[in-house]
Structures are given as structure tokens and as C-alpha cells.
Amino acid sequence: MSSITIKTADDIVGMRVAGKLAAEVLDYIAPFVKVGVTTGEIDRLCHEYMVDVQGTIPAPLNYCPPGYTPYPKAICTSVNDVVCHGIPGDKVLKNGDVVNLDITVIKDGYHGDTSRMYVAGEPSILARRLNDITFECMWLGISKIKPGAHLGDIGFVIQQHAEQAGYSVVREFCGHGIGKVFHEDPQVLHYGRPGTLTELVAGMIFTVEPMINAGRREIREMGDGWTIKTKDRSLSAQWEHTVLVTETGYEVLTVSPGMPPPPAFIQKAAAPQTVGV
């Protein structure tokens, strides 16, 4: 618990700004994700928008954790069976390709981190269902966030929903604390048991970013040292928000006008109770 930074009021203000800006990059790029575009072009457009329009810094560019080579691009573009950390390049999107765009910007020292799924052309029924279930998994996890809850509560509902749909949860990658540091404690597993792991307290900020595979959960790393694919070549999907634990529940920080709204069952649960007259 001691290694988890509880954010101050000023930190929270900074994180709201960074989160909003990260989400706005995903709004901006949406019309460009279509058949015939390369992932490198998507990266170029996002990079220019961040630097020239927003005045933000793309956090992944030259990011270099111990044991890695520096990440060479501004965003991650993970297509079809790529689970995460797909490096943008000359790959051309074809009709039906699904792609996760993962954006992290730095503004005034604070990191905003979010990702969404996009489709070039018309998705297959499988791809649409996988995207939908993964989106629901993320929101189910977020819905468990409040003081006194545990990280295991988040992982449990995500794992349960994914596996009931016949899918699997990637274990090797997880959500993470975030603030002035890109990746910090706690680790937020997307599987687990209720009532286990760290107890949540107001002022924590972390990501919820389940990676769900249509097939088995096993993964393989590509030769570039970054790109992760499903071992069985099945489709993979991921959605991500950065979330603040508030005194009464949670606040999603990566919000923007074009953000897909939460599923209806989340909105209904969050609706204020009104007393009939």
C-alpha cells in the first residue's frame, strides 16, 4: 500500500486535463481509421495532433522500461490478433480489420491513458461481439470501484463476464497506477477473486484495460520486442479508461465528446434514485 501514491487535489485537476486530452485524440482520429490507411499514417496524424494542436507529449515515444528497446512511435496500433503494443508501420488496414488505438499523452507532467477499438469497413459478427463483450468487461470492472472495495473485485467481474461469453483474459498485462509516472502501483489484474488484493481508497488513480481473446489466453512476443500476439492467432480486443477513486465511488478521467457511452446496464445502475411524489 505504501508504494501507491494517493493523489492530491492539484494532482486530480492535472489528471482530469490529461485524461480529457488523451480521449480527444481518440475522437480526432476516428474518421481516419478506414480501409486503405496504414497504421503508420494513423500514428503520424495522432502525433501531429498531440504536439501541434494540444501541446501534449506522446508518452510512448522513446519509452524504455528496463529490458526493452525504446518504443519508436507515438501510439500503439494493435490489429486483429495483436493483443497490445503493436508498433505502427506500413500495415494497411483491410475491410473487417479491428484495431485498438492506445493513447497516452503528457500534459504539465501528468499522464492521460486510454484506448478504444475501431473497425475498418464492416466488422465480422465475431469481431463485433468480442469488442462489445470487452467494452462491457471494462465497464463492469470500473463499476466496482469505490473506497473499501478491493482490486480483486475488479478482476473477478471482468474474468467472469469474459469467460461466460466463451472468451479468455490475458494474464501477463494489467492495468496500472498512473499520475506523474506512466506506470506505477497498483497493478490492476483483470482476473481474480472478490475481496482480495489491495483495498481501494479515495485519491487512487489507475487504469482498467482488459485484454480479452476470442480464443485461448496464451500470448507470444514478436521479434521487435514489443508486439504481443495471441498464440493461437485468435482475435483480441482491449478497451481502457483512467479512473479516480472518489469518496463515494469513481470518476472516469478519460472523457471526451466522442467517447462511446457506458453500456445501458452501467448507466441504469449509476442513475440517481428519485423518490416518487
**33-55 pLDDT per residue, tens:** 999 999 999 999 999 999 999 99
Cα 244 versus chain centre, distance:
14
What average pLDDT is seen over the chain? 95
Identify the structural domains of the chain with CATH numbers, from first to last: 9-261 (3.90.230.10)
- Average pLDDT of span 223-249: 97
DSSP state of 50: I
Whether residue 180 has pLDDT greater than 60: yes
Q: Supply 260's cell numbers.
A: 462511446
Whether residue 272 has pLDDT greater than 70: no
pLDDT in tens, 16-32: 999 999 999 999 999 99
Q: What is the pLDDT of residue 266?
A: 84
pLDDT in tens, 81-92: 999 999 999 999
Backbone angles phi, psi at 126, to 5 degrees: -60, -45
pTM (predicted TM-score): 0.95
- Average pLDDT of span 147-165: 98
Interacting residues of 13 by C-beta distance below 8 A, sequence separation 6+:
none
**Cell 501541434 belongs to which residue?**
52
Q: Supply 268's cell numbers.
A: 441504469
Whether residue 69 has pLDDT greater than 70: yes
**Cell 463485433 belongs to which residue?**
128
Whether residue 1 has pLDDT greater than 50: no
DSSP state of 51: I
Whether residue 106 has pLDDT greater than 70: yes
Q: What is the pLDDT of residue 268?
A: 67
pLDDT in tens, 119-129: 999 999 999 99
User: What distance in Å separates the CA atoms of residue 207 and residue 131, rounded to the nearest whole number?
Assistant: 18
Q: In what order do the strands lie in the sheet with 168-169?
A: 168-169, 211-213, 236-238
DSSP state of 79: E
Measured between alpha carbons, how far is residue 101 from residues 66, 80, 84, 113, 216 in Å?
24, 12, 9, 11, 22
Pairing of the two strands 110-119 and 205-208: unpaired
Please check whether residue 244 is in contact with residue 12, taking contact to mean a CB–CB distance below 8 angstroms: yes
Q: What is the pLDDT of residue 277?
A: 38
